[in-house]
Structure 1
Amino acid sequence: MDLILGGWAAAHLPTASDAELDLFEAVLAEADHDLYQWVTGQSAVPEAYAAFIGTLAGTVRSGGA
């Protein structure tokens, strides 16, 4: 989780809105295995997380920032 979420957190948490923070917290509560599969495209992302996971996946591919 740290490797997947760390780059996004470093780049976005300081300026995140309340809604973004709530979404981030919800994603943190998900199973690591599910999060990994969503980010890597191995399984479908739940609609509620789709935009966030898309951004997160882009952050992971770009090296974290």
Structure 2
Amino acid sequence: MSLTESPEARRKRMHIRAWRRGTKEMDLILGGYADAHLAGMDAAALDAFEALLAEDDHDLYQWVTGQAVPPAHIAPLIGELALRTAG
């Protein structure tokens, strides 16, 4: 994030990144999550989601589907994504 980037510009950039992943599955998971939650995220939540967006799609998919254990620093957010995809 740039020091001069507005919160609105940051959300827009992250929304695009969430919907333009390397795999269709992650587009749907992350993009859908962004659609539902991005507008209401505070700075800490935006930081966490941005860190998640930096992760590899293959790893993310395995974490979200329970095929692998996510790193502790993003495990809570992965849990939210897993609940969203299970429902």
| TM-score of the pair, normalised by structure 2 | 0.67
Query: What is the one-letter code of the residue matched to 2:33?
Result: W
Equivalent of 1:17 in 38, 42, 45: 42
Q: Identity across aligned pairs (percent)?
A: 60
* Structure 1: runs of 5 or more not aligned: none
Larger Cα-atom Rg: 2
Q: Would you say how many aligned residue pairs link Structure 1 and Structure 2?
A: 62
Aligned twin of 1:44: 69
**Moved beyond 2 Å, runs of 4+:** none
Higher relative contact order (CA 8 A, sep 6+): 1
User: CA offset at residue 61 of structure 1?
Assistant: 1.8
* Structure 2: runs of 5 or more not aligned: 1-25
Q: Residue 53 in 1 paired to residue 47 in 2? A: no
| TM-score of the pair, normalised by structure 1 | 0.88
CA RMSD of aligned residues (A): 0.8
